[in-house]
Structure 1
Amino acid sequence: MKTFVIEREIPGASKLTADELKGISSKSCDVVARLGEPYKWVQSYVAGDKIYCVHEAESADVIYRHAREGGFPADRVTEVAAIIGPQTVAG
Protein backbone atom coordinates (compact mmCIF):
# COMPACT_ATOMS: atom_id res chain seq x y z
CA MET A 1 0.00 0.00 0.00
CA LYS A 2 1.02 3.59 -0.55
CA THR A 3 1.14 6.20 2.22
CA PHE A 4 -0.77 9.47 1.90
CA VAL A 5 -0.98 12.69 3.89
CA ILE A 6 -4.49 14.16 3.90
CA GLU A 7 -5.09 17.79 4.75
CA ARG A 8 -8.58 18.42 6.09
CA GLU A 9 -9.76 22.01 6.55
CA ILE A 10 -12.01 22.03 9.64
CA PRO A 11 -12.55 25.48 11.16
CA GLY A 12 -11.95 25.30 14.90
CA ALA A 13 -10.42 21.81 14.70
CA SER A 14 -8.04 22.48 17.58
CA LYS A 15 -11.04 23.37 19.76
CA LEU A 16 -12.87 20.08 19.20
CA THR A 17 -13.64 18.29 22.45
CA ALA A 18 -12.38 14.82 23.31
CA ASP A 19 -15.90 13.48 22.69
CA GLU A 20 -16.08 15.17 19.27
CA LEU A 21 -12.70 13.72 18.30
CA LYS A 22 -13.83 10.32 19.52
CA GLY A 23 -16.93 10.58 17.33
CA ILE A 24 -14.87 11.51 14.26
CA SER A 25 -12.49 8.63 14.98
CA SER A 26 -15.33 6.16 15.36
CA LYS A 27 -16.93 7.24 12.09
CA SER A 28 -13.59 6.95 10.27
CA CYS A 29 -13.01 3.43 11.61
CA ASP A 30 -16.55 2.40 10.62
CA VAL A 31 -15.95 3.60 7.05
CA VAL A 32 -12.58 1.82 6.87
CA ALA A 33 -14.28 -1.43 7.94
CA ARG A 34 -16.90 -1.06 5.17
CA LEU A 35 -14.54 -0.15 2.32
CA GLY A 36 -13.85 -3.76 1.41
CA GLU A 37 -10.31 -3.05 0.27
CA PRO A 38 -6.90 -2.58 1.89
CA TYR A 39 -6.88 0.61 3.95
CA LYS A 40 -5.16 1.68 7.16
CA TRP A 41 -5.54 4.87 9.17
CA VAL A 42 -2.11 5.39 10.72
CA GLN A 43 -2.40 8.63 12.70
CA SER A 44 -3.81 12.14 12.63
CA TYR A 45 -2.64 15.50 13.94
CA VAL A 46 -5.03 18.27 14.98
CA ALA A 47 -3.48 21.72 14.46
CA GLY A 48 -5.27 25.05 14.21
CA ASP A 49 -8.09 24.81 11.69
CA LYS A 50 -6.84 21.58 10.12
CA ILE A 51 -6.49 17.90 10.73
CA TYR A 52 -3.55 16.23 8.99
CA CYS A 53 -4.02 12.50 8.55
CA VAL A 54 -1.65 9.73 7.53
CA HIS A 55 -3.44 6.87 5.80
CA GLU A 56 -2.31 3.88 3.74
CA ALA A 57 -4.26 2.77 0.67
CA GLU A 58 -3.75 1.52 -2.86
CA SER A 59 -4.56 4.91 -4.43
CA ALA A 60 -5.68 8.47 -3.79
CA ASP A 61 -9.08 7.46 -5.21
CA VAL A 62 -9.60 5.16 -2.21
CA ILE A 63 -8.60 8.00 0.14
CA TYR A 64 -11.22 10.26 -1.49
CA ARG A 65 -13.80 7.47 -1.27
CA HIS A 66 -13.16 7.15 2.48
CA ALA A 67 -13.64 10.91 2.83
CA ARG A 68 -16.89 10.94 0.82
CA GLU A 69 -18.41 7.99 2.65
CA GLY A 70 -17.42 9.43 6.03
CA GLY A 71 -18.49 12.97 5.25
CA PHE A 72 -14.95 14.22 5.88
CA PRO A 73 -13.24 16.96 3.89
CA ALA A 74 -10.14 15.91 1.95
CA ASP A 75 -8.83 19.25 0.73
CA ARG A 76 -5.43 17.92 -0.30
CA VAL A 77 -4.26 14.32 -0.67
CA THR A 78 -0.54 13.83 -1.28
CA GLU A 79 1.34 10.58 -1.71
CA VAL A 80 4.41 10.33 0.55
CA ALA A 81 7.61 10.05 -1.49
CA ALA A 82 9.99 9.40 1.43
CA ILE A 83 10.12 9.39 5.21
CA ILE A 84 13.00 11.10 7.00
CA GLY A 85 13.87 11.89 10.59
CA PRO A 86 16.83 11.99 12.97
CA GLN A 87 17.60 8.36 12.10
CA THR A 88 18.18 9.40 8.46
CA VAL A 89 21.52 10.99 9.45
CA ALA A 90 22.86 7.62 10.65
CA GLY A 91 22.24 6.09 7.24
Structure 2
Amino acid sequence: MPRYIIERDIPEIGSAAREELRGAAQQSNGVLNEMQAEQKKIQWEHSYVAGDKTFCIYLADNVALIEEHAERSGFPATKVTEVRKMIDPVTAES
Protein backbone atom coordinates (compact mmCIF):
# COMPACT_ATOMS: atom_id res chain seq x y z
CA MET A 1 0.00 0.00 0.00
CA PRO A 2 1.18 3.54 -0.60
CA ARG A 3 2.49 5.48 2.39
CA TYR A 4 1.24 9.00 3.15
CA ILE A 5 2.32 11.86 5.39
CA ILE A 6 -0.69 13.72 6.79
CA GLU A 7 -0.06 17.18 8.20
CA ARG A 8 -2.70 18.33 10.67
CA ASP A 9 -2.98 21.76 12.31
CA ILE A 10 -4.12 21.12 15.87
CA PRO A 11 -3.71 24.14 18.16
CA GLU A 12 -1.72 23.40 21.33
CA ILE A 13 -1.31 19.69 20.53
CA GLY A 14 2.36 19.99 21.48
CA SER A 15 1.41 20.80 25.06
CA ALA A 16 -1.40 18.23 25.30
CA ALA A 17 -1.36 15.92 28.32
CA ARG A 18 -0.75 12.22 27.81
CA GLU A 19 -4.43 11.51 28.55
CA GLU A 20 -5.50 13.88 25.77
CA LEU A 21 -3.15 12.20 23.32
CA ARG A 22 -4.44 8.80 24.41
CA GLY A 23 -8.02 9.95 23.77
CA ALA A 24 -7.11 11.25 20.32
CA ALA A 25 -5.37 7.97 19.47
CA GLN A 26 -8.38 5.97 20.69
CA GLN A 27 -10.72 8.09 18.57
CA SER A 28 -8.53 7.58 15.50
CA ASN A 29 -8.22 3.84 16.15
CA GLY A 30 -11.99 3.52 16.52
CA VAL A 31 -12.57 5.01 13.08
CA LEU A 32 -9.78 2.90 11.59
CA ASN A 33 -11.39 -0.25 13.03
CA GLU A 34 -14.74 0.73 11.50
CA MET A 35 -13.15 1.41 8.12
CA GLN A 36 -11.21 -1.86 8.18
CA ALA A 37 -14.45 -3.72 9.03
CA GLU A 38 -15.82 -2.13 5.84
CA GLN A 39 -12.93 -3.79 3.96
CA LYS A 40 -11.13 -0.47 3.47
CA LYS A 41 -7.36 -0.82 3.48
CA ILE A 42 -5.92 1.86 5.74
CA GLN A 43 -3.42 1.64 8.60
CA TRP A 44 -1.88 4.18 10.97
CA GLU A 45 1.84 3.64 11.52
CA HIS A 46 2.69 6.50 13.90
CA SER A 47 2.56 10.27 14.33
CA TYR A 48 5.00 13.00 15.25
CA VAL A 49 3.80 15.91 17.40
CA ALA A 50 5.61 19.19 16.75
CA GLY A 51 4.34 22.53 18.00
CA ASP A 52 0.76 23.02 16.82
CA LYS A 53 0.93 20.22 14.26
CA THR A 54 0.95 16.49 13.92
CA PHE A 55 2.62 14.62 11.09
CA CYS A 56 0.92 11.26 10.77
CA ILE A 57 2.27 8.35 8.76
CA TYR A 58 -0.39 6.12 7.21
CA LEU A 59 -0.61 3.28 4.74
CA ALA A 60 -3.71 3.32 2.55
CA ASP A 61 -4.92 2.15 -0.83
CA ASN A 62 -5.55 5.75 -1.89
CA VAL A 63 -5.73 9.35 -0.70
CA ALA A 64 -9.54 9.22 -0.60
CA LEU A 65 -9.31 6.81 2.36
CA ILE A 66 -7.00 9.23 4.18
CA GLU A 67 -9.50 12.04 3.60
CA GLU A 68 -12.41 9.84 4.73
CA HIS A 69 -10.60 8.94 7.94
CA ALA A 70 -9.84 12.62 8.60
CA GLU A 71 -13.50 13.52 8.19
CA ARG A 72 -14.89 10.63 10.22
CA SER A 73 -12.38 10.99 13.07
CA GLY A 74 -12.75 14.75 13.38
CA PHE A 75 -9.03 15.35 12.76
CA PRO A 76 -8.93 17.38 9.53
CA ALA A 77 -5.97 16.87 7.22
CA THR A 78 -4.29 20.15 6.31
CA LYS A 79 -2.08 18.50 3.71
CA VAL A 80 -1.70 14.93 2.43
CA THR A 81 1.47 13.90 0.61
CA GLU A 82 2.24 10.50 -0.86
CA VAL A 83 5.72 9.23 -0.01
CA ARG A 84 7.49 8.37 -3.27
CA LYS A 85 10.83 7.20 -1.94
CA MET A 86 12.57 6.78 1.39
CA ILE A 87 16.25 7.31 2.13
CA ASP A 88 18.34 6.81 5.24
CA PRO A 89 22.03 6.74 6.17
CA VAL A 90 22.44 3.32 4.54
CA THR A 91 21.39 4.87 1.20
CA ALA A 92 24.81 6.56 1.07
CA GLU A 93 26.51 3.17 1.18
CA SER A 94 24.67 1.48 -1.66
Q: What's the counterpart of residue 87 of structure 2?
A: 84
Q: Partner of 1:8 in structure 2?
A: 8
Give a deviation string over 1:56-89, Cα, whole Å, max 9, x none: 0011110000000000010000000101111111
Q: TM-score, normalised by structure 2?
A: 0.94
Aligned length: 91
Specify every segment of 5 or more residues in structure 2 that has no aligned partner in the other structure, as ranges: none
- What percentage of aligned pairs have identical amino acids? 38
Structure 1, unmatched stretches of 5+, are: none
Equivalent residue letter for 1:33: N
SS at the partner of 2:69?
A: helix
- Structure 1 residue runs of 4+, over 6 Å off? none
CA distance in 1, matches of 2:51, 2:71: 23
CA RMSD across the alignment:
0.6
Deviation at 1:13, TM superposition (A): 1.1
Q: Per the alignment, in what secondary structure is the counterpart of residue 8 of structure 2? A: strand
